[in-house]
Structure 1
Amino acid sequence: MTSPTPHMFLQPDGWMPARGYANGMMAQGRIVVTGGLIGWNARQEWDHLDMLGQFRQTLINIVAVLDQAGARPDHLVRLTWYITDKQEYLANQRGFGTAYREVIGRHFPAMAVVQVTALMEDAARIEIEATAVIPD
């Protein structure tokens, strides 16, 4: 299987293919880890109060942090999403997919999505932690 990433996707034999994420990834190189990033702009101001708008901005923020390390979106090996409303997420899955592909591309690392009661910033609807590996 040809991959748009320098890393290896882990797909056990006989498993149904993951859609929109990878079951696992193997990588070697320099590790880049972000904190939990949210959907405010560089001035820590909210341009969007809805989850979808915040998601797009959060991805832009992740790419900006990766860039500081010389990493690209295709170096991502893991994303952990924390969302405050599962129903809002499910109702907008198509929009999430579109925003993801526009900002990250067609690279789908290992991911987890977790619903939480609240995030530290009251207006935040989504927070994402990212791990990337820059190949040696």
Structure 2
Amino acid sequence: MTLLQPPGWPRPKGYAAGVRAEGTLIFVSGQIGWNETGRFAGGNIAAQVRQALRNVVAVVAEAGGSADNIARLTWYIVDKAEYLDAQHAIGEAYRDVMGRHFPAMSVVEVAGLIEDAARVEIEATAVLPKSSR
């Protein structure tokens, strides 16, 4: 994967402007902050981000990949103020699961998610290199 940063653009905070990759595409549907038993990791957004990212990485791992193969993340959050207030804890949760890998990312505030207790939903696209097939 190659990060794409047009000349003169300021360095993004915590994400890449774009990613170029070649290989097998893995599409991960929206993952929320519950574990394999359907129980939420916690009521706060940082705990749910940690679990949702673990879920994304677990799906990518099932295809033979890792967090480093994730090219794009889209986060859907239900409360912008809650997200901004928890940025430090969310950053820690992110780094615990994803390390220092920062793919192209978007964060979108939505009116609600299907699961009422969900604070965040994260979907992903990963690219496994041709050599890993």
Q: Report which of the two has the higher share of strand.
A: 2
- Local SS of the residue matching 1:17: coil
Query: What is the CA–CA distance in structure 1 between the aligned matches of 2:13 and 2:110, rounded to whole Å?
Result: 23
SS in 2 for 1:66: helix
Distance in 1, matches of 2:41 and 2:124, equals 22
> Conserved in 1, the CA contact under 8 Å of 2:5 and 2:17?
yes
Aligned-partner SS, 2:61: helix
Of 65, 70, 85, the residue aligned with 2:64 is: 70
Match of 1:59 in 2: 53
| Deviation per residue, 1:45-100 (Å, 9 max, x gap) | 12311111111110111111111000110111100000000001000111111111
Identity of aligned residues (%): 52
- Of 73, 85, 88, 2:82 maps to 88
Please provide the CA RMSD for this pair: 0.6
Distance 1:45 1:18 in 2: 34
Counterpart-to-counterpart distance in 2, 1:40 and 1:102:
17
1:126 shift after superposition: 0.3
Any residues of structure 2 matched to 1:10-89 within 5 Å, and which? 10-89=4-83
* TM-score of the superposed pair, with normalisation by structure 2: 0.96
Partner residue in 1 for 2:123: 129
Unpaired runs of 5+ residues, structure 1, are 1-6
Question: Which stretches in structure 2 are left out of the alignment for 5+ residues?
Answer: none
The separation in 1 between residues aligned to 2:45 and 2:53, in whole angstroms, is 12
Runs of at least 4 residues of structure 1 off by over 6 A?
A: none
In structure 2, how many angstroms separate the alpha carbons of the residues matched to 1:63 and 1:129? 11
One-letter amino acid matched to 1:9: L
Q: Is the 8 A contact 2:23 2:127 kept in 1?
A: yes
Q: Distance in 2 between matches of 1:44 and 1:57?
A: 11
Structure 2 CA distance, aligned partners of 1:99 and 1:51?
Answer: 10
Work out the CA distance in 2 between the residues paired with 1:114 and 1:129. Answer: 12
Contact 2:45 2:90 in 1 (8 A): no
Taking structure 1 as the reference length, the TM-score comes to 0.94
